[in-house]
């Protein structure tokens, strides 16, 4: 079995060689752009991911600053109200103690301060407090112990503690003002959405007093222990700078809180869970894929536009060639731009114009060859037929002149003479068509010709109840033609129009002009001509009437051809017909022609 090219094509249905030019250009554009697109995508992804990570860091820093600023504001508020409390708080020995204690409790409640206590420095005895003594006993009055943890109903709670020394009645006291970092504080910082804000404070309670316990968290992204890893605390103590946490799951920041002596008392954590936030999507790999896909899509779009711009004229050329092969020489393709493809399109249009002209010339030559052959045959037939017809007509006329013939015989002889004359007229008409005479051209007004023709045909038109009119769209238009032949052409068209309107109608003889031709048109409101007959009606011996030789329109066609003009028919069935005679325009002036004729005379 032979391995023919056709078999190889069948085995490779997706072979690139079978692709269209546009698909090949698209593939070429993509292949050429893929490496630069990958490089650009890598650079852009790296830059964007760095910018995004930097913005995330700033965002995390700002979010931790919210918590830190809130704690600082609590400390400042405690310091402000401490001066007021120092004025009104009295030891129990004072006769104003009860009244002042009530006032202090009311002010603390109004100011959002959870605990106000007066502790004797000598023995650390609580002499006044707004909270139970067991809570006050958990609070350290050591200097700079600002952030502490206490147990309230078994729950570890953070407090911001401010202590102030005072002396009353010669006894030294410490005033303790504390604000809980509980749900009310949490609500004040929970407005920062999508972030996990946590506060860790040094654990002064429990089995691990050196650890850091989680006081609160705005989000619960995962199950995790309540204590901060000791490694983080060690890092913060050593570096005294915020510590970043960037993993596949988390983007976070640990921000240390130091007291005045440099002890690490608390840590604020601000984090984002990558798989549940935009941070997880915006990474270098995803950005690279996205930018590469967008770049490829852009490259393919540009490739599609360019390939379409290149292949559209080629497709037009293919369609045009197909039309020319099928015999349609009127096909033209649009010329877009001024590049090589536009030049090719222009050349194709010029070629089809030349082919159309050659086709027309070829048709004229064939027609002339046929007419020439027909003329040769006609001359022979006319010679062979006319001589016997002349003898028959003469003999019949002699017999008709006999006086003793019966009337019936005379009438029969008259029929013979009439038919012989009709045959002779047909032969004459046929000879005129086969051997047309050259036109004797002269310049004369088109309006004058139209009026003369309608005047000549007026009785016949009136007999058939046909209303005739002249539609002069080009006043002053002239004709450079053989008036006798042009009248003959118009009369043939008018007679055909009369036959097409047996019940009457309207006939219009029009005059128009364009840059190349003077146009004489004959329009009727008759039966019209079927579309398949329009191309054939100018062929000799083709007629749409029951009687007639079919030479009338062929004669008109021949006359227009001899005048270097043309005839066209516009018609629809039952919608009338219009025949337009295109006579080449003449540049000469009618008055100048008359003067030249007078000078010649």
Say what the pLDDT of residue 519 is.
Answer: 92
The total of other beta-carbon atoms located within 10 Å of residue 320's CB is: 20
326 CB-near residues (< 8 Å, 6+ apart): none
Lowest mean pLDDT among 27-36, 59-68, 216-225: 216-225
Say what the pLDDT of residue 14 is.
Answer: 54
The residue that leads in pLDDT, 365 or 549, is 365
- Give the CATH number of domain 340-434: 1.10.287
The residue that leads in pLDDT, 267 or 214, is 267
pLDDT at 334 over 90: no
Say what the pLDDT of residue 490 is.
Answer: 92
Task: Give residue-wise pLDDT tens across range 1-39.
Answer: 445 555 555 555 556 667 767 677 777 777 777 777 788
Give the separation between CA 86 and CA 117, rounded to whole angstroms: 11
Give the separation between CA 160 and CA 162, rounded to whole angstroms: 7
Give the separation between CA 258 and CA 41, rounded to whole angstroms: 44
Partners of 582 in beta bridges: 519, 566
Lowest mean pLDDT among 3-17, 108-122, 416-430, 573-587: 3-17
560 CB-near residues (< 8 Å, 6+ apart): 489, 566, 567, 581, 582, 583
The residue that leads in pLDDT, 11 or 160, is 160
Q: Tell me the average pLDDT of the chain.
A: 77
pLDDT band of residue 191 (cuts 50, 70, 90) is low
Give the separation between CA 466 and CA 413, rounded to whole angstroms: 37
- Helices and strands (H and E) in the chain: how many: 15, 17
Contact 580, 521 (CB under 8 A): yes
Task: Give residue-wise pLDDT tens across range 553-563.
Answer: 888 888 888 88
Top CATH class, 442-600: alpha beta
Report angle CA 143, 144, 147 to the nearest 5 degrees.
125
Mean pLDDT for the stretch of residues 476-488? 89
pLDDT band of residue 599 (cuts 50, 70, 90) is low
pLDDT at 275 over 80: no
- Coil, helix or strand at residue 541: coil
Long-range contacts formed by 212-218: CB under 8 A, 24+ apart: 212/266, 212/267, 213/149, 213/156, 215/149, 215/156, 215/157, 215/158, 215/181, 216/158, 216/181, 216/182, 216/185, 216/186, 218/186, 218/189, 218/190, 218/192
Which of these, 592, 423, 449, 433, lies nearest to 509 by C-alpha position?
449
Partners of 116 in beta bridges: 177
The residue that leads in pLDDT, 601 or 433, is 433
pLDDT at 112 over 70: yes
The residue that leads in pLDDT, 184 or 179, is 179
The residue that leads in pLDDT, 13 or 454, is 454
pLDDT at 302 over 50: yes
pLDDT band of residue 597 (cuts 50, 70, 90) is very low
Say what the pLDDT of residue 173 is.
Answer: 86
pLDDT at 520 over 50: yes
- DSSP code at position 227: B
Lowest mean pLDDT among 216-225, 263-272, 590-599: 590-599
pLDDT at 113 over 70: yes
Lowest mean pLDDT among 120-134, 179-193, 372-386: 179-193
Lowest mean pLDDT among 148-152, 204-208, 556-560: 204-208
Give the separation between CA 485 and CA 234, rounded to whole angstroms: 121
Which of these, 326, 329, 383, 320, lies nearest to 359 by C-alpha position?
329
Lowest mean pLDDT among 194-208, 341-355, 542-556: 194-208
β 505-513/466-472 pair status: parallel
pLDDT at 178 over 70: yes
- Coil, helix or strand at residue 487: helix
Mean pLDDT for the stretch of residues 155-167? 85
Say what the pLDDT of residue 219 is.
Answer: 66
Structural domain boundaries of the chain? 50-281, 340-434, 442-600
Say what the pLDDT of residue 214 is.
Answer: 79
Mean pLDDT for the stretch of residues 93-105? 64
Q: Do domains 340-434 and 442-600 have the same CATH topology?
A: no
Highest mean pLDDT among 44-53, 188-197, 463-472: 463-472
pLDDT band of residue 277 (cuts 50, 70, 90) is low
Element (H, E) at 15: none
Percentage with pLDDT > 90 across the chain? 4
pLDDT band of residue 175 (cuts 50, 70, 90) is confident
Give the separation between CA 133 and CA 138, rounded to whole angstroms: 9
Structure pTM?
Answer: 0.44
Give the separation between CA 302 and CA 461, rounded to whole angstroms: 69
């Amino acid at each position: 079995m032979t391995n023919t090219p056709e078999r190889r094509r069948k085995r490779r249905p997706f072979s690139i060689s079978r692709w269209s030019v546009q698909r090949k250009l698209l593939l070429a554009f993509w292949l050429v752009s893929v490496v630069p697109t990958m490089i650009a995508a890598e650079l852009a992804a790296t830059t964007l991911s760095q910018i995004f990570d930097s913005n995330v860091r700033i965002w995390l820093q700002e979010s931790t600053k919210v918590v830190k600023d809130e704690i600082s504001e609590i400390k400042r508020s405690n310091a402000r109200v401490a001066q007021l409390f120092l004025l009104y708080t009295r030891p129990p020995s004072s006769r104003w103690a009860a009244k002042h204690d009530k006032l202090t409790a009311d002010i603390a409640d109004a100011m959002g301060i959870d605990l106000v206590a007066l502790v004797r420095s000598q023995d650390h005895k609580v002499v006044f407090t707004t909270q139970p003594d067991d809570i006050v006993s958990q609070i350290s009055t050591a200097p700079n112990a600002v952030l502490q943890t206490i147990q309230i109903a078994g729950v570890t709670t953070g407090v911001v503690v401010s202590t102030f020394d005072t002396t009353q009645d010669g006894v030294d006291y410490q005033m303790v003002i504390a604000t809980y970092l509980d749900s009310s504080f949490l609500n004040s910082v929970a407005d920062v959405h999508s972030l996990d804000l946590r506060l860790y404070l040094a654990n002064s309670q429990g089995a691990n007093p050196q650890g850091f316990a989680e006081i609160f968290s705005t989000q619960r992204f995962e199950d995790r222990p309540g204590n901060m890893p000791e490694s983080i605390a060690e890092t913060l103590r050593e570096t005294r700078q915020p510590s970043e946490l960037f993993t596949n799951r988390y983007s976070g920041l640990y921000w240390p809180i130091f007291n005045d002596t440099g002890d690490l008392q608390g840590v604020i954590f601000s984090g984002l869970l990558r798989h549940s936030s935009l941070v997880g999507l915006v990474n270098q790999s995803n950005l690279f894929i996205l930018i590469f896909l967008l770049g490829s899509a852009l490259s393919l779009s540009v490739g599609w536009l360019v390939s379409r711009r290149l292949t559209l004229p080629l497709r037009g050329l293919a369609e045009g060639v197909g039309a020319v092969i099928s015999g349609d020489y009127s096909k033209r393709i649009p010329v877009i731009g001024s590049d090589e493809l536009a030049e090719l399109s222009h050349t194709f249009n010029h070629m089809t114009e030349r082919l159309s002209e050659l086709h027309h010339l070829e048709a004229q030559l064939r027609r002339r060859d046929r007419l020439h052959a027909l003329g040769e045959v006609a001359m022979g037939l006319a010679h062979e037929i006319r001589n016997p017809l002349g003898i028959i007509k003469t003999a019949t006329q002699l017999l008709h002149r006999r006086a003793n013939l019966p009337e019936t015989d005379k009438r029969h002889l008259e029929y013979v003479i009439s038919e012989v004359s009709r045959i002779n007229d047909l032969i004459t008409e046929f000879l005129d068509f086969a051997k047309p005479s050259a036109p004797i051209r002269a310049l004369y007004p088109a309006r004058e010709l139209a009026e003369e023709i309608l005047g000549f045909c007026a009785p016949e038109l009136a007999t058939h109840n046909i209303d005739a009119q002249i539609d002069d769209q080009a006043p002053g238009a002239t004709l450079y033609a053989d008036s006798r032949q042009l009248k003959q052409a118009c009369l043939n068209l008018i007679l055909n129009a009369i036959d097409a309107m047996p019940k009457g109608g309207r006939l219009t003889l029009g005059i128009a002009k364009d840059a190349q031709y003077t146009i004489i048109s004959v329009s009727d409101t008759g039966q019209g001509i079927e579309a398949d007959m329009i191309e054939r009606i100018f062929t000799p011996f083709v007629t749409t009437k029951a009687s007639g030789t079919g030479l009338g329109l062929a004669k008109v066609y021949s006359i227009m051809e001899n005048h270097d003009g043309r005839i066209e028919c516009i018609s629809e069935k039952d919608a009338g017909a219009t025949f337009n005679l295109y006579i080449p325009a003449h540049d000469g002036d009618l008055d100048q022609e008359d003067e030249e004729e007078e000078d010649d005379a």
